């Protein structure tokens, strides 16, 4: 695999960072919480590269960063509680989970195909300038390899991701040093992850209490909510060819109804996964899927396909 150049950027070089984002590349940037690993949230391949760079074994939903409230409202259904929390804490270390709007234009990989989106307006001046210059939504998990601690300096990002991303903007040490607080507003207000803003401050701004989800399972693995990922149709994995009556989701140089990647490119395959599954599911026929190599992004693709293929008892 080609070694990716790593560049340090100063604030004056933001146009270079914007060029990288516009061409599907990855730029780590400082926020007030931790350094984020940013990619264009509308570009499925850029989002797939985020998962690849972090070497995540599954597709967790990512937080989308925007410059202002008007932009947030383009992607999610807004509520009164969202208004209260946004006026109190944005820009700042708070992420809100709200229902996705139709026609949002984001890659389905960003939300791991959930019907909700985690969104935030960061306060860090470099993050703000980057978002204003890019004029679009930036998907950004913490800029660390999967399973390692979150980076609070550009040096941490270099240590973890050197050679795997295009650039890091060095904005010094992060002030908060702890990830954003995540509040779910899609249903009853719920604390989904404690973080930079204490829950008491959230409750004071809302004028009422919030539910607390404290198990790390439910926070970090919404993939366990199997029903979100399961197509209506049955799925058969590791299929060399379809049986009569099945539609075929191919990978590599095979004759198929839809192909995740004819050339066997796992980044392309990940970016097509959810949309192809939805398209084939609409045929109402069972879906057979080519074998996907279980390396790199292939592990996350297989994880999701196995969930979709698992027998389901719950709704
Ligand atoms: O401070 C932060 O939030 C940093 C900076 C870079 O903004 N970002 C960050 O992202 O911590 P990440 O990917 O490391 O954590 C995102 C968390 C995950 O636990 C994920 O499960 C949750 O947000 N999440 C994202 N979308 C969600 C959704 N629609 N519903 C529930 N949880 C969601
Ligand atoms: Mg993280």
Mean pLDDT of all residues belonging to the chain: 91
Kindly tell me the burial class for residue 28, based on how many C-beta atoms sit within 10 Å of its own C-beta (0-12, 13-18, 19 or more). buried
Q: How many residues can be counted in the chain?
A: 315
- The strand pair at 287-289 and 116-120 is best described as unpaired
Kindly tell me the burial class for residue 264, based on how many C-beta atoms sit within 10 Å of its own C-beta (0-12, 13-18, 19 or more). middle
Burial state string for 77-110 with b = 16 or more CB within 10 A and e = fewer than 16: ebeebbeebbeebbbbbbbbbbebeeebebbbbb
Residue with CA nearest ligand 1 atom 24: 61
Cα–ligand 2 centroid distance for 290 (angstroms): 31
Residues 6+ apart with CB under 8 A from 159: 151
Residues 94 and 197 sit within 8 Å (Cβ to Cβ): yes
Give the integer Cα–Cα distance in Å for 109 and 16.
Answer: 25
* Nearest ligand for residue 187 CA: 1
Q: What is the mean pLDDT of residues 282-311?
A: 93
Cα–ligand 1 centroid distance for 133 (angstroms): 23
**How confident is the model at residue 173, as a pLDDT?**
92
Q: Which residues pair with 145 in a beta bridge?
A: none
Is pLDDT at 217 greater than 70 in this prediction? no
Mutate to test the pocket of ligand 1, among 29, 55, 61 (most ligand atoms within 8 A of CB): 61
Q: What share of the chain is helix, strand, coil (3-state, %, to 5)?
A: 35, 15, 50
Cα–ligand 1 centroid distance for 50 (angstroms): 13
Mutate to test the pocket of ligand 1, among 92, 131, 141 (most ligand atoms within 8 A of CB): 141
Residue 12's pLDDT band, with cuts at 50, 70 and 90, is low
Give the integer Cα–Cα distance in Å for 224 and 304.
Answer: 10
* Nearest ligand for residue 193 CA: 1
pTM of the model: 0.91
Give the integer Cα–Cα distance in Å for 126 and 10.
Answer: 9
| Ligand 1 binding site (Cβ under 6 Å of any ligand atom) | 31, 33-34, 36, 60-63, 93, 95, 97, 111, 114, 116-118, 140-142, 179-180, 182, 192-193, 219-220, 222
* Angle of helix 125-134 versus helix 14-22 axis, rounded to 10: 50
Q: What is the mean pLDDT of residues 242-265?
A: 97
Least confident of 6-20, 70-84, 143-157, 232-246: 6-20
What residues are neighbours of ligand 2 (ion), with CB under 5 Å?
Answer: 142
Mutate to test the pocket of ligand 1, among 38, 41, 60, 101 (most ligand atoms within 8 A of CB): 60
Give the integer Cα–Cα distance in Å for 112 and 115.
Answer: 9
Task: List, for residues 175-189, the tens digit of each pLDDT value.
Answer: 998 999 999 999 999
Residue among 212, 203, 213, 219 nearest 85 (CA): 203
């Amino acid at each position: 695999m080609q070694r990716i150049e790593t560049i340090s950027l100063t604030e004056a070089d933001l146009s270079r960072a914007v060029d990288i984002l516009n061409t599907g590349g990855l730029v780590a940037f400082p926020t007030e919480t931790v350094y984020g690993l940013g990619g264009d949230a509308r570009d499925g391949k850029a989002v797939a590269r985020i998962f690849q760079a972090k070497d995540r074994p599954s597709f967790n939903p990512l937080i989308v960063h925007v410059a202002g409230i008007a932009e947030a409202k383009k992607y999610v259904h807004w509520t009164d509680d969202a208004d209260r929390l946004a006026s109190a804490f944005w820009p700042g270390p708070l992420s809100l989970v709200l229902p996705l709007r139709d026609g949002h234009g984001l890659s389905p990989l960003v939300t791991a195909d959930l019907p909700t989106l985690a969104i935030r307006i960061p306060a860090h001046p470099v993050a703000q300038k980057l978002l204003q210059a890019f004029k679009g939504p930036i998907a950004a998990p913490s800029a660390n390899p999967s399973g390692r601690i979150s980076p609070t300096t550009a040096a941490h990002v270099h240590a973890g991701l050197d050679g795997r991303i295009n650039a890091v903007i060095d904005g010094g040490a992060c002030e908060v040093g702890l990830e954003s607080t995540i509040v779910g507003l899609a249903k009853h207000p719920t604390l989904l992850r404690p973080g930079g803003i204490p829950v008491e401050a959230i409750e004071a701004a809302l004028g009422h209490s919030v539910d607390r989800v404290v198990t790390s399972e439910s926070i970090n693995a919404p993939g366990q909510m199997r029903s979100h990922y399961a197509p209506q149709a049955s799925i058969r994995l590791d299929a060399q060819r379809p049986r009569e009556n099945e539609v075929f989701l191919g990978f590599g140089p095979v004759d198929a109804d839809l192909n995740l990647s004819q050339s066997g490119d796992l980044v392309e395959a990940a970016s097509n996964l959810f949309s192809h599954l939805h398209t084939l599911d609409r045929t109402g026929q069972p879906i057979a899927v080519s074998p996907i190599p279980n390396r790199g992004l292939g592990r996350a693709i297989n994880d999701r396909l196995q969930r979709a293929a698992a027998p389901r008892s719950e709704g």
